[in-house]
Amino acid sequence: MSEIAGPAAAALASLSPDDVLFLQALPKAELHAHLNGSIPIKTLLELAQQHSPTQSSEVADTLQKLKSGAVLDEIDDFFSLMPAIYALTSTPEAVTTATRAVLQSFLNPTGDGTGSPQCAYLELRTTPRATAHMTQERYLTAVLDEVEFYPATQAALIVSVDRRMSDLDVEECVSLAIEMKNRGRRVVGVDVCGDPRKGDMQSFTQHLLRVKGAGLGLTVHIAECTENTTEDSLALLSCRPDRLGHTTFLSDELKALIRLIPCVEICLSSNILGKLVASLDTHHIHYYLKNNHPIVICTDDALPFRTSCLGEYSLLLAQPPLGLGLSRGDVTRIARMGMDAAFSRPCD
Ligand SMILES: [Zn+2]
């Protein structure tokens, strides 16, 4: 696991050793983690070394930013990191290396002496990417081969479609996810992700409606930034998603509509470091806690946000202003909600 920094690290550092042991032992589900945003920095540097003859200044610049902790002042600062990471994971071999490292970082014992992994169950997500070296199917196969190395009670895959995709690409991507599931591969859901300011969600709905018909779970990044319109959110909600990612700027009218959505994925460090939420104090998690709406605590992109499952849970338990000051009982209840919101039920 990479070193953590920022608000999660400050919250963790404020906890008593006993509280840390309590959080480490708590079975946690990580349900919102993007593969390419979760690659340990050590692995990314190794991939860069193998890649070095053609390493562009953009790749070198991004690696430097990630090593020293990327400062994200606006949403473009986050998305500008991705092309360099994609350049380093553009072959099936690199995808295999990256996926293996991500799975190990979440699911293998963390080496903290407790023998506990970061999380008990992981639903990793990624957008199938065709490059000069592989097709979308080859990309997905490389990822699934690694995911399926772990038992189904520990790891599964969500196939993401990107808001920037053309209609045809979305259709193909959803078809690929369904086909993989029907072939017995461990695809459990579909996600909508990518730059929240891009794409016409109305045109996505016809494809997303096929997801649920195929027996897959559906989760969507929704109302992530102020530019997202009510129409955009309504189009996504019309597909009856099983989970929602972020929900940062949902209006009260829309909040009323999501009462029936089984779970909201909350990424505290991501929201704060991405400057989409000013502070923990004003974070929308308070709304869900007050209304007893199920949530799951997730890392989103542990690499740029330099966090971990333990770090995110520390933000729940630490006393204000470093954390929310929740009781151990409440934190246990939240962790249980996360496990219950998995697309493939880990306890079955
Ligand atoms: Zn996300």
Q: How far is the CA of 17 from the centre of ligand 1 (A)?
A: 31
Q: Which of 128, 116, 188 is nearest to 152 (CA)?
A: 188
Predicted local confidence at residue 127, as pLDDT: 97
Three-class secondary structure of residue 287 per DSSP = helix
* Mean pLDDT value of segment 50-55: 64
* Structure token pair of residue 233: 């959110």
Q: Active-site positions?
A: 224
* In the chain, domain spans: 6-340
Predicted local confidence at residue 205, as pLDDT: 94
Q: What is the mean pLDDT of the chain?
A: 91
Whole-angstrom distance, CA of residue 43 vs CA of residue 59: 14
Q: How far is the CA of 18 from the centre of ligand 1 (A)?
A: 31
Q: How far is the CA of 101 from the centre of ligand 1 (A)?
A: 19
Host H or E run for residue 333: helix 328-340
* Mean pLDDT value of segment 5-24: 96
Q: What is the DSSP string of 75-129?
A: HHHHHTTHHHHHHHT-SHHHHHHHHHHHHHHHHSB-SSSS--BS-SEEEEEE---
Whole-angstrom distance, CA of residue 271 vs CA of residue 224: 9
- Is residue 348 predicted with pLDDT exceeding 70? no
Predicted local confidence at residue 2, as pLDDT: 59
Predicted local confidence at residue 91, as pLDDT: 95
* Interval 289-342: pLDDT, tens: 999 999 999 999 999 999 999 999 999 999 999 999 999 999 999 999 999 999
Predicted local confidence at residue 257, as pLDDT: 87
Predicted local confidence at residue 72, as pLDDT: 74
* Mean pLDDT value of segment 10-27: 96
The residue type at 71: V
* Mean pLDDT value of segment 108-117: 81
The CATH superfamily holding the domain 6-340 is: Metal-dependent hydrolases (3.20.20.140)
Predicted local confidence at residue 57, as pLDDT: 78
Query: Highest mean pLDDT: which of 23-27, 47-51, 221-225?
Result: 23-27
The residue type at 316: L
* Interval 232-254: pLDDT, tens: 999 999 999 999 999 999 888 88
Residue with the two structure tokens 């996504």: 236
* Mean pLDDT value of segment 148-176: 96
Q: Which residues, including other chains, have CB under 8 Å from residue 303's CB and lie 6 or more apart?
A: 2, 37, 38, 39, 40, 41, 44, 66, 85
- Is residue 56 predicted with pLDDT exceeding 90? no
Phi-psi domain of 200 (left: phi exceeds 0; alpha: psi -120 through 50; beta: other): beta
Q: Which residue has the higher pLDDT, 246 or 114?
A: 246
Q: How far is the CA of 105 from the centre of ligand 1 (A)?
A: 18
User: Percent of the chain beyond pLDDT 70?
Assistant: 96
Q: How far is the CA of 16 from the centre of ligand 1 (A)?
A: 30
Whole-angstrom distance, CA of residue 71 vs CA of residue 283: 20
Q: Which residues, including other chains, have CB under 8 Å from residue 5's CB and lie 6 or more apart?
A: 69, 306
Predicted local confidence at residue 345, as pLDDT: 61
- Is residue 113 predicted with pLDDT exceeding 80? no
Q: Which residue has the higher pLDDT, 261 or 126?
A: 126
Q: How far is the CA of 167 from the centre of ligand 1 (A)?
A: 21
**pLDDT band at residue 71 using 50, 70 and 90 as cut-offs:** confident
User: Percent of the chain beyond pLDDT 90?
Assistant: 72
